[in-house]
Amino acid sequence: MMIKKRLTNKLILVYFLVVILPICAVYFVFVILLFSRTLQSESEKYQYEIDMAVNDLETELKNLENIADAILKNGYITEFLRYQYDTDWEPMYDYVSNVQYQLHSYINYNQNIKTIYFYGDNIRLNPGGYFKSFSDLPVEKAKIYKGIWKLDQNNELHYFFGKYDNTYTNLEYAVEIVIEKELLINFLKLLHLNDNSAVCLIDGQGDIYYGKPLTDWKEDPADNPAWHGRYCVIESEIKPLRMSAVIYSDVFDMAYESLVLLLVAGALLFLVLFILLIAYLRYSLRFARRLVSFTAYIRSMPDEEYEPYPVEEGTDEIGELVSVFNSLINRTNTLVNMVQKKEILRRKAELDAYQSKIEPHFLYGTLESLRMLALNNEDEEVAKGILDLAKLMRYSLTSSQTSTLEKELNQIKRYLNLQKLRLSDRLEWTINVEDEELLNLTCPQFLLQPIVENSIKHGIEKVRRGGSIVINVHKTGKEIIISVTDSGAGIEKERMENIRKLLSESSSNHNPLQMEDKGYALYNVCMRMKLFYGNGFSLEIGNNEPAGTVCMMHLSQIAEDIGVDNQ
């Protein structure tokens, strides 16, 4: 299951990296380009509309300037402004007779004109409220020679235009045309392109004369339009007014239709990607399941059994892999069977050879002891010794290659009883078994006798005082330990190292050490046990403190051996 999850996660990761990530990157670039082109197109559209509105406004302002120029060239009006009257009835008469009609005709000529004012030094009366002194002029006289526009606090436009005398040093009179608010209001209405936009009139110093901007803005001729966060700032200069009309518009409102289109396209894109993901996973997981099943089968195969994969092989790469695997399994089974047969024959021959090498010299010594005992003391002890010898010989002559630990220990008891007859008080022995179930352990014949024989021959007999032999059998975890400890002469250090080196070698080639009794007996036991138990056996030898030798056998693979019936 974990393998399947890892494989599924990898398939999803590959799909994300190879399909989803590139498509999303392309879609993101497409969104940026489309959004940018839409904003550029909308800003160009807004720029065109504001330029057209400004152009219309400038045209109307030019007409009003022409009217101001025409007024100052009107003979009746200029004469009325220039003439110095001695009495009050004379200017009143001229105004009613000539000027009033001319003045009203100009006011009524253009609907954007609210009223007209005249400024001069010779004005004594103010008939109709149209005439004022230069002292009432709201702008500097020097600035109005070529005409000047001014926007007051009430958002009304005023145009001032003056006339100099023939010397061009003295301003004779001036005219002020007051414009209706509707002219500027209608102009600004044209610039309100949507509900999320704002319009302002800003002079060259950045001071706002009309409106309120949506964001901080400073005039930058290099950027037109200028972008400030989420707002687009579009500017167009109104030259007669020496001001700029500025539109602040929300970019999302400008690109509303494109955003809707992008959202719909994005939803469709991700729906298609999800459908493709499902199809991809279904198609890929068919192969993944086959591969996971094949891998799980290989992992679950026991070490000693090899069976071909039972699922249909197929014609793709996985099927070819299964086919090669099955062919390899069949070939392996054939080779294993051949090797097993050869190994069985080899092990049987080696077991026969090793068992035939067990020295029978102790039988001769025991028989001689029994003979001498029988000559001197005819009693039951002799009869018991003879019985043990008969059983010992019967056990050694059996054709079976395997036995149990219980039989081996019984054989050792007989052997030690016979040696006790020979050595008398010089030999003491003890056998301790921790758990009776351990007696059912399957083992080869003569497992312990060569080791006990070494303990007597090379240990107890070489010490005049004699000694003791202790055999312990116990279990530690999954390991059975059999130890044979004697209190004899022990082994020299250099000799001990040579024996350990011999026991650790896996080769069966003989060397000089093996030809000696002490080395050969241990080597014999070690090789027989390795052939019988395989890697589950090890043999250790060391000196016993304060004197003697200890030999320990470790059996780790015992699960199948426990439970053998005691014969």
Q: Domain with 403 in it: what CATH number?
A: 3.30.565.10
Q: Nearest-CA neighbor of 181 among 110, 114, 109?
A: 114
State the total domains in the chain.
4
101 vs 128: CA distance, rounded Å? 12
Helices (H) and strands (E) in the chain, counts: 15, 17
CB atoms within 10 A of CB 401: 14
414 vs 384: CA distance, rounded Å? 10
184 vs 245: CA distance, rounded Å? 11
Domain boundary among 179, 207, 224: 179
The predicted structure's pLDDT at residue 566? 36
Q: Nearest-CA neighbor of 467 among 492, 430, 499?
A: 430
The predicted structure's pLDDT at residue 59? 92
Q: In which residue ranges of the chain is pLDDT below 70?
A: 1-8, 11, 193-196, 213-230, 254-258, 303-305, 311-316, 340-380, 382-383, 387, 390, 394, 397-400, 505-520, 557-567
For residues 247, 251, 257, 258, the Cα torsion angle rounded to the nearest 10 degrees is 130
> Residue type for 482, please?
I
Domain boundary among 325, 349, 373: 349
Residue with tokens 């993901």: 277
Both 122 and 162 in a single domain?
A: yes
Distances (CA, A) of 422 to 281, 361, 485, 504: 85, 13, 20, 35
Both 341 and 409 in a single domain?
A: no
Are residues 143 and 169 in contact, defined by beta-carbon separation less than 8 angstroms? no
Both 36 and 174 in a single domain?
A: yes
The predicted structure's pLDDT at residue 409? 92
Task: Tell me phi and psi for residue 565, to 5 degrees.
Answer: -65, 140
> Residue type for 318, please?
I
Q: Which residues pair with 554 in a beta bridge?
A: 481, 538
SS3 sequence, 328-341? HHHHHHHHHHHHHH
Q: Nearest-CA neighbor of 156 among 199, 187, 185?
A: 185
Handedness of CA 108, 114, 120, 122 (dihedral sign): positive
Both 511 and 410 in a single domain?
A: yes
Does residue 274 form part of some domain? no
Both 108 and 170 in a single domain?
A: yes
Enclosing domain of residue 319? 302-349
- Sheet containing 131-133, strands listed edge to edge, beginning at the edge strand earlier in sequence: 131-133, 113-120, 171-179, 157-164, 148-151
Both 387 and 239 in a single domain?
A: no
In this structure, are strands 243-250 and 467-476 parallel, antiparallel, or unpaired? unpaired
Both 407 and 538 in a single domain?
A: yes
Task: Tell me phi and psi for residue 477, to 5 degrees.
Answer: 65, -125
Residue with tokens 């000027």: 99
**pTM score above 0.75:** no
117 vs 137: CA distance, rounded Å? 10
388 vs 411: CA distance, rounded Å? 9
369 vs 363: CA distance, rounded Å? 10
Domain boundary among 238, 254, 270: 254
Both 341 and 235 in a single domain?
A: no
Both 142 and 197 in a single domain?
A: no
404 vs 518: CA distance, rounded Å? 25
Burial group, residue 206, by CB count within 10 angstroms (0-12, 13-18, 19+): exposed
Does residue 242 form part of some domain? yes
Look at the chain and count its residues: 567
